[in-house]
Structure 1
Amino acid sequence: MPIAARSIRTRFRSLRSPARARLLVVAVAAALTAVFLTPLGAQAARAKESRPVYSYANAIRESVWVDTGLDEDRDGRTDRVAVDIVRPREPAAQGRRVPVIMDASPYYSCCGRGNESQLKTYDAQGDVVQMPLFYDNYFVPRGYAFIGVDLAGTNRSDGCVDIGGPSDVASAKAVVDWLNGRARGYTTRTGTQRAAASWSNGRTGMIGKSWDGTIANGVAATGVEGLKTIVPISSISSWYDYYFAKGAPLYDSGPDWLSNYVESPQAQAHCAAVQQELVDGAPRTGDWTPLWSGRDYAAEAGKVRASVFVVHGMQDLNVRTKNFGQWWDALAAHGVERKIWLSQTGHVDPFDYRRADWVATLHQWFDHYLLGYDNGIERQPMADVERHPDQWSTDRSWPPAGTRDAVLRPLPGAAPGVGGLGTTAAPAGASETFTDDPAVDETGWAAAVDRPTAEKAGFLSKPLTQDLRLSGSSRVTVTATPTTTSAHLSAVLVDLGPDTIRDYAGAGAGILTGTDRTCWGDSTAGDSACYKVTSAAKKAVDYTVFSRGWADLGHYAGGTGRPLTPGTPYTITLDLHATDHVVPAGHRLALIVAGTDRDLIDPPASRPTLTLDLTRTAANLPLVGGVRAFVKATSGTPARVAPALSHPAGVAGPRPATPVPGER
């Protein structure tokens, strides 16, 4: 326990005997020396930043296999997961223990990590040579150990991949337990020689993008002791919401395909039973099953002890932003210490869109939560939000103070399918009709939002007289009458007006990769700390789709779908994805309701025509300033008005060809 300076001064003043004073000085000096040997003592409390004082070239590189206690591959022995370790040699030689930064991933051998798809490489003794990404290069010289864990069933680990389920989470949690002396580790995959983490002080931080960060969420949701912080980047909080949106399928494949994609050859030969469980537990009906309950980390947010630094692209159409929104809200409800960065990108790591600031912020974050340094990171603004390419704003809290739900209602217009958006209810009997066209997507709807088209209904606000900010997760409740026994619905929010944004639908999901390199840490011949520079991929647009949500109307009653009765009205609420967007003065806010959002949800079995009951349709939006802000922003005539969308431009092709949580 740190010794307070005030306490020491008080004790000296109370002394009466010089001899006793000398003895106490010696005792206090010894106590301070002992405290200063640990980075969590008084010295750490005064320190501001860890420094690269240890040799990366001389770092200890070793491999350990940790027993998970499970036998997922049914071979009669408990599964062991491979843990590749890079740690500074000097603290161990001095008998000092270090904290751990950990990335548990299924991608170390099959697919690669980061913008340059790096894989682990090994020397003849089986010790890691190249550890993907910059974490080891940068943090090991600063007194951290970095470990890369192969999830069960991948690379050099036993077991089976179960897509965020008990095996995935247990294989990473077991490593945290091993670091804290609660699990068994071995020097080989099948041997009996034990390996202890005597070099670790047990304080662990998990980081990772996509599936890696998803596992960090899952481990944190177990409440495991010793996990002090997690940094989930573009990560899943509920696997159901990766594959479905209230019954509407987001992808044409299920978790069994993804499992097979990343599994090692050994796992593919021994994990047929787990594969079948994934098939049986995730029916393409989109129904909620026990399989999804076991992969819903947001529901377990009350167990989280670690601080959480959430990072997500607001245009991520791979791991869609409902995942960070519901996770954030659940953490907030339980008082978890947290921070958030939101970019304009798609599925991209912040190292590739805000590199220098990211490394500096991450350095502060780990120094504070793993080394105990009082550097003020927890007192900095909670949120960083990218407003335009490379232009960021901050908020002391997120959503910002004054954010309140505002109920906005669609109103009929002079032309079919082109109505208004306001705060008053539509007149009795008002309706709009559209026919599902799976060949059209949200960008097509937005491009024609102010013109009648058969496949959508659009509702536009008046031009804004002042900026209007939406911050958080929205909901759109729809009452619709179908003409067939199946129907899918989409709702999107659109900012109508010119802007320059990141081209999130382009090949780089909002970034361009150059040829020059910048270096972040120390290098060896086999592991470079230098990475290709990136810049913003920009696009001039006339409109921006900034939030969207989907549903299968057959799931109107909850987690189990059922056939619809043609001619019968059904009410369902679509959860729109979390975001933070400012609609500028002169622009208009639009709500579009339509059927299949091509390439973002799969179409239903039939092609229905749907009639919206406008009196029972409404959007619930988290506006900064609430409904008063909307009323004020739509009153009067703005100083500048966005031009009509005669030849509108937007992004195109919003979905990656191969949807994998670890890749763009």
Structure 2
Amino acid sequence: MRVLTGLCAAVVLAAGVAVPAAATAAPARTGTEPQYDYAGAIRETVWVDLGRDGDGDGVSDRVAADIVRPKEPAEAGKKIPVIMDASPYYSSVGRGNETQFKTYDDQGRPVGFPLFYDNYFVPRGYATVLVDLAGTNRSTGCVDVGGQSDVQSAKKVVDWLNGRATGYTAKTGGTKMSAGWSDGGVGMIGKSYDGTIANGVASTGVEGLKTIVPISAISSWYDYYRSDGASFGFNPDGLAQTVERRNGGQDCSAQHRKLAQGATANGDYGPLWAERDYVANAKNVRASVFVSHGVNDLNVMPINYGQWWDALAAKGVQRKIWLAQTGHVDPFDYRRTEWVDTLHRWFDHYLMGIDNGIEKEPMATVERQPDQWANEATYPAPGTKATVLRPQPGRTPGVGTLGTTGSRGTASFTDNPKVGENEWAANPSATSANRVLYSTGALTSPVQVSGTSSITVTATPSTSTARLSAMLVDYGPAKIRNFSGPGEGIVTGTDRTCWGSSTDGDSACYKVTSADTTNVDYTIISRGWADLANYQSLSREARLTPGKAYTMTFRLASTDHVVPAGHRLALVIGGTDNGFVTAPANPPKLAIDLARTSAQVPLVGTVPARPRTESAPAGELAHVPAAARFDLR
């Protein structure tokens, strides 16, 4: 373990004699160690005034922030930093792989804090603060699913920790409560909705927020519910009702109506989504950012981390990233020891000011195969170039080659909303009525797809409504994490490992997990969906004229994947992707103009300019079915 040693004054005392500091230099501070009594830590709650009345009861809303902090620093007059997780889930769906909830004693004092952050970091001199978003658990007000109420719920607690907001000892009434023990430095962390709020608070540029660690988090709520005009078929009012269901007493029906009305069914980007677009405000971010995401996350799609990362890079924000093969999984549950160590050093550096060199380490850590990790100096990977790949027709209708030379000809398919990506990917050498497929052929050397791809399609629909879907596929045998399994790439065992100190009401011990793997013959490495009616603007769809050609560019999911030599990289284009997007009113036949269709893919390495025509392996190829969408946990 690394040892934390206090900095020397001008002199040190040895045997009662003053000795010059240069003669006995203090060792470098390389890491915090457990030194404070967790069982005797201070556990308390502050209710912070939001200055808004979200539930319309005539009273300003207050958010509850449960705190556990070591008592020794306060007794010595030393101020300490805060690790904060702001969540709507502490009494509704729970947190972590073992679905933990907050617990309280008979007098309402906090006892059990979900996750390991308090157990591990409080003995090391940090406070842990878990915030109930407005309208959830013990807070008043209403959830607005990523809007101002949600973001302000956490931002105001940051303000309170810095002496800029008012806190009270009770939900109503009470006396004012200060945070004189806080040094004002805050690091926000959390998975999914929680990490999303960290992104939102960082995008306000609030002073005192030093770092955030968003895990499988949303960067724009539009991209959780919609995709370039296409709808995933569910809306934010349902999520709001889910997280508020155990917090009776407030009337949030007006807020629910606003959410339902603002999330228009046609998939247009409107004012509701603009308020919840943190990428647009990335220019305000002051905090460092440590991103973690599963490249196979089909709940919070990977485009969320990719566009956030790119916006932060443009701003020059200090950042780091972990990418796993998992679905919607916390790194504590797929690479526990390394994650805790890295997180510890990250917080020590950005909250304690310890010079441990973590900011100089490789920027990206990527899982190449289950439990096999590679470091990259940057993300996207060094040497990545935006490469335009173009489809060329082959001898088989709807099947051809993918290279870098100009395209020609047309191809067509009929949108069948009852099928989707796995049916499209199967039998890659055969004509399909429901998709077209273009492949590089067997690669002579590996290529790496690193970053965010896009596709430009020119399509002529036979009806006035149309969906487009596209995906990049790695054809070749591989062992991958079973990201669509019940654990989304992990299996939970029965043994436990402990991460910090425990009390009777708050255990630091968690079940061990391991990789859930499966063997496949192809891997879908990136996906994207669009409504062709939004070809001109995401803010306003147009009615399509049957028989007229339209050109639309839309995004494919961010990723980092190596296609080995001998494998094929393929582009597949279809209509409605069953299980993902909703179908158009009148599914069309779509004719694709190959000369005006291309994909822009960030590649390390090259593909043949004009691959020779060859048949892909025949037969049905096994693959993991698409994962179902879940509540945002």
Same fold (TM over 0.5): yes
Shift of 1:653: 3.7
Aligned equivalents of 2:86, 2:354: Cα separation in 1: 25
Matched, 1:358 2:327: no
* Pairs within 5 Å for 1:186-225: 186-225=168-207
| Residues 464-484 of structure 1, C-alpha deviations (whole Å, 9 max, x = no match) | 001100100000000000011
Q: Show the counterpart of 1:543.
A: 522
The 8 Å contact of residues 153 and 264 in structure 1, kept in 2 or not, is answered as: no
Aligned equivalents of 2:532, 2:122: Cα separation in 1: 52
* Pairs within 5 Å for 1:262-281: 262-266=243-247, 269-281=250-262
Matched, 1:486 2:468: no
Matched, 1:650 2:627: no
Determine helix, strand or coil for the equivalent of 1:270.
coil
Letter in 2 for 1:310: V
Matched, 1:57 2:39: yes
The 8 Å contact of residues 407 and 621 in structure 1, kept in 2 or not, is answered as: yes
The 8 Å contact of residues 65 and 82 in structure 1, kept in 2 or not, is answered as: yes
Q: Show the counterpart of 1:152.
A: 134
Q: Show the counterpart of 1:331.
A: 312
Q: Show the counterpart of 1:403.
A: 384
The 8 Å contact of residues 498 and 541 in structure 1, kept in 2 or not, is answered as: yes
Determine helix, strand or coil for the equivalent of 1:415.
coil
Q: Show the counterpart of 1:76.
A: 58
Aligned equivalents of 2:54, 2:402: Cα separation in 1: 54
Aligned equivalents of 1:371, 1:531: Cα separation in 2: 27
Alignment counterpart, residue 496 of structure 1, candidates 471, 475, 493 = 475
The 8 Å contact of residues 47 and 170 in structure 2, kept in 1 or not, is answered as: yes
* Pairs within 5 Å for 1:440-455: 440-455=419-434
Shift of 1:105: 0.1
Matched, 1:384 2:365: yes
| Residues 203-258 of structure 1, C-alpha deviations (whole Å, 9 max, x = no match) | 000000000000000000000000000000000000001110111011x2211111
Aligned equivalents of 1:561, 1:643: Cα separation in 2: 38
Shift of 1:642: 11
Say which structure is richer in helix: 1
| Residues 59-118 of structure 1, C-alpha deviations (whole Å, 9 max, x = no match) | 111011001111111111211000000111111111111100000000000000000110
Shift of 1:446: 1.1
Q: CA RMSD for the aligned pairs?
A: 2.2
Query: TM-score w.r.t. structure 1 length?
Result: 0.90
Sequence identity of aligned pairs in percent? 59
Aligned equivalents of 1:643, 1:411: Cα separation in 2: 15
Aligned equivalents of 1:237, 1:635: Cα separation in 2: 38
The 8 Å contact of residues 168 and 174 in structure 2, kept in 1 or not, is answered as: yes
Change (3 A) 1:27 1:334: farther
The 8 Å contact of residues 79 and 181 in structure 2, kept in 1 or not, is answered as: yes
Shift of 1:192: 3.5
Determine helix, strand or coil for the equivalent of 2:413.
strand
* Pairs within 5 Å for 1:607-622: 607-622=587-602
Determine helix, strand or coil for the equivalent of 2:176.
coil
Aligned equivalents of 2:501, 2:557: Cα separation in 1: 40
Shift of 1:270: 1.1
Q: Show the counterpart of 2:14.
A: none
Q: Show the counterpart of 1:228.
A: 210
Alignment counterpart, residue 586 of structure 2, candidates 584, 606, 613 = 606
Alignment counterpart, residue 412 of structure 2, candidates 433, 451, 474 = 433
Change (3 A) 1:126 1:355: same
Shift of 1:451: 1.2
The 8 Å contact of residues 471 and 578 in structure 1, kept in 2 or not, is answered as: yes
Letter in 2 for 1:387: R
Q: Show the counterpart of 1:305.
A: 286
Matched, 1:530 2:512: no
Aligned equivalents of 1:543, 1:266: Cα separation in 2: 46
Aligned equivalents of 1:645, 1:392: Cα separation in 2: 32
Q: Which residues of structure 2 form unaligned runs of 5+? A: 1-5, 12-16
Aligned equivalents of 1:454, 1:319: Cα separation in 2: 30
Q: Show the counterpart of 1:661.
A: 632
Letter in 1 for 2:290: F
Q: Which residues of structure 1 form unaligned runs of 5+? A: 10-24, 33-41
Determine helix, strand or coil for the equivalent of 1:328.
helix
| Residues 575-631 of structure 1, C-alpha deviations (whole Å, 9 max, x = no match) | 001000000000000000001111111111112110000000000000114xxx223
Shift of 1:646: 2.1
Matched, 1:90 2:72: yes
Aligned equivalents of 1:442, 1:412: Cα separation in 2: 21
Query: TM-score w.r.t. structure 2 length?
Result: 0.95
The 8 Å contact of residues 199 and 212 in structure 2, kept in 1 or not, is answered as: yes
Aligned equivalents of 1:215, 1:48: Cα separation in 2: 30
